[in-house]
Amino acid sequence: MTEATTVEIPEGAQNPVEPFLRMDRMPHIWCPGCGIGTTVNCFTRALIDSKANLDKVAIVSGIGCTGRVAGYAHLDSFHTTHGRAIPFATGMKLANPELKVVVYSGDGDLFAIGGNHFIHAARRNMDIKVICVNNMTYAMTGGQSSSTTPAQVISATSPYGAFEPTFNLVALAEAAGASYVARWTTYHVKQLSRSMEEVLKKKGFCFIEVLSPCPTLYQRRNKMGDGLDAMKYYKQASKIRNGAPTGECTLSKSGEIVVGKFVDRDRPDYLELLRAQMTESLGERYVESEASCSC
């Protein structure tokens, strides 16, 4: 990991991340105490520290509170349909491999309605970076249960308490074939920024889960306090265990939160596999894709 560089505040700006945001769209829609803005701050820091050419970074979101991130990022940004950010990103990456394509969306979007796309993109080792802000609820629509809502939690659609078993996102990502898997909370801003910087530089399918508070809809119903209380919980309950077996990293309503980088492996990505197979089968007849030049 590289040390974060010192960032100058640009002239006329009040914050170093301003050039990375569409300031003409502020104020944003997120509630006080919500963690999504914190993750966006970490992401902009990662963009700065990775020294990525921002003209070549595209960000794709689905639908939901986190789905609004693409709309605030001053990048080529695409706010797509519910659950389908990953296949959109897949098409974009394959048509122009020089782009770094980041998918930024929530737990409901990526793992309920979009779960099939997630496992297939991981299986293919598609060279896209998926950041999931997990607030354990459908926040945009009023706080319904998602596939990550822990047992006992009261939600708008589980008024007597959730009881369905949940997805362990990091285990799912590893099992499906992701090259990089990490989990942090919005308390771990330094670590999260570094993980985001790492995935911007890493090839293949990379996944970061960020636990993030939703005071308005999740915590209020469950008498879990406000955004600050969530930070206290994250601070007290989190255990950094880099390399921990992801199968042991299940989350619960108020139990231990295992965070860290769990998987960092090198596998050939989709385009490398494609090129190798076509070269083996077709030899000199194979013509490298020039999809992005066809117009």
Partner 1 sequence: MHADPKGVLTGVHFLDGDHACCEGTLAAGARFAAGYPITPSTEVVERFASRIPTVGGIFIQMEDELAASIAIQGAVWAGAKAFTVTSGPGFSLMMEHIGLAAMTETPCVFVDVQRGGPSTGLPTLPSQADMMQARWGSHGDYGIIALCPNSPQECFDLTIQAFNLSEEFRVPVMMMMDECVGHMTEKVVIPEPDQIEVTPRRYTKLSPEEYRPFEPREDLVPDMARAGAGYRFHITGLTHDERGYPNMSVETQDRMVRRLQTKLEPLANGRALCETENLEDADVVVVSYGITSRVAQRAIQFARARGIRAGKFRLITAWPFPAERIRELAGRVKAFVVPELNLGQMVLEVERAAMGKAKVIPVSHAGGTVHNPDTILNAIVEAVR
**By the criterion CB under 8 A, which residues form the site for partner 1?**
22, 24-25, 54-56, 58, 60, 70-71, 74-81, 83-84, 86-96, 98-99, 116-117, 120, 278, 282, 285-295
Q: Which is nearer to partner 1, 119 or 230 (CB)?
A: 119
Taking the C-alpha atoms of residue 56 and residue 61, their distance in angstroms, rounded to an integer, is: 17
The number of helices, as runs of H, and strands, as runs of E, in the chain is 9, 8
Phi, psi at 209, each rounded to 5° = -100, 130
Task: Name the E strands within the chain.
Answer: 57-61, 76-79, 100-106, 128-134, 180-185, 206-211, 238-240, 257-264
In this structure, the strands spanning 180-185 and 257-264 are antiparallel
Q: Say if CB 214 and CB 107 are below 8 A apart.
A: no
Task: Report the nearest approach of partner 1 to the CB of residue 242 (Å).
Answer: 31
Q: Which is nearer to partner 1, 70 or 211 (CB)?
A: 70
Q: Which is nearer to partner 1, 141 or 289 (CB)?
A: 289
Task: Report the nearest approach of partner 1 to the CB of residue 175 (Å).
Answer: 16
Q: Is the dihedral of CA 194, 94, 58, 124 positive or negative?
A: negative
Burial of residue 95 (CB within 10 Å: 0-12, 13-18, 19+) is: middle
Task: Report the nearest approach of partner 1 to the CB of residue 187 (Å).
Answer: 30
Task: Report the nearest approach of partner 1 to the CB of residue 234 (Å).
Answer: 31
Task: Report the nearest approach of partner 1 to the CB of residue 83 (Å).
Answer: 8
Task: Report the nearest approach of partner 1 to the CB of residue 67 (Å).
Answer: 10
Q: Which is nearer to partner 1, 184 or 270 (CB)?
A: 270
Q: Which is nearer to partner 1, 129 or 188 (CB)?
A: 129
Q: Which two tokens stand for residue 29?
A: 């829609």
Q: Which two tokens stand for residue 94?
A: 């394959």
Note every long-range contact of 285-292, with CB atoms under 8 Å and residues 24 or more positions apart, other chains counting: 289/94, 289/97, 291/94, 291/95, 291/96, 292/95, 292/96
Q: Which is nearer to partner 1, 82 or 253 (CB)?
A: 82
Taking the C-alpha atoms of residue 103 and residue 262, their distance in angstroms, rounded to an integer, is: 20
Task: Report the nearest approach of partner 1 to the CB of residue 58 (Å).
Answer: 5
Q: Which is nearer to partner 1, 54 or 189 (CB)?
A: 54
